[in-house]
Structures are given as C-alpha cells and as structure tokens.
Amino acid sequence: MKRKSAHEPKAKVMSAPEAWDDARQLAEVLRQNLLKAEPVIRLPVPLSVFLSALDNLSREELMIVRKRLEERLAI
C-alpha cells in the first residue's frame, strides 16, 4: 500500500467514516440551499406549456406572477 501524507504535515488526516460523514453533511447543506433557491423557468417554451405550468401554481405563487406581470405591463 502506498503511504500518503497530508498537505499540512501536522494536520490530522480524516478517516474514511469521517470523510463520509463530512461529505454527507456537505450534501445536506447543498440540498437545503437548493430548496431555498429562487425557482427557475427556461424560455422559450410553447405558450400552452407555460399556461399549463400556471395551472399548477399555488395562489401565493400566482400572486407573485401577477405582481411581476403588472410591473412589466406598466413599463
């Protein structure tokens, strides 16, 4: 087996279970951040697809869309 060393000679090298736990914790943080991220839609899409997507939005989400549309129409 090839002997390895840490970049920092006095640093403790993580064991396999510690590395696994660290990776799991990082994945959880990334997942939580993804859930907090702003929703994204990609355009261009056929109008029928867009309208179908609107049918699946909650009232709160529709209110956000309405506000944004009113702002855009006022320009």
Per-residue pLDDT tens over the stretch 12-60: 777 888 888 888 998 888 888 777 776 666 677 788 888 898 999 999 9
pLDDT given at position 64: 92
Q: For residue 31, what is the DSSP state? A: H
CB within 8 A of 22, min separation 6: which ones? Answer: 14
Radius of gyration of the chain (CA): 24
pLDDT given at position 3: 67
**Buried-state track 12-22, b at ≥16 Cβ within 10 A, e below 16:** eeeeeeeeeee
Inform me whether the pLDDT recorded for 1 exceeds 70: no
pLDDT given at position 5: 60
Q: Is the peptide bond before 46 cis (omega within 30 degrees of 0)?
A: no
Q: For residue 74, what is the DSSP state? A: H
| Confidence tier at 4 by pLDDT (50, 70, 90) | low
pLDDT given at position 2: 66
pLDDT given at position 55: 92
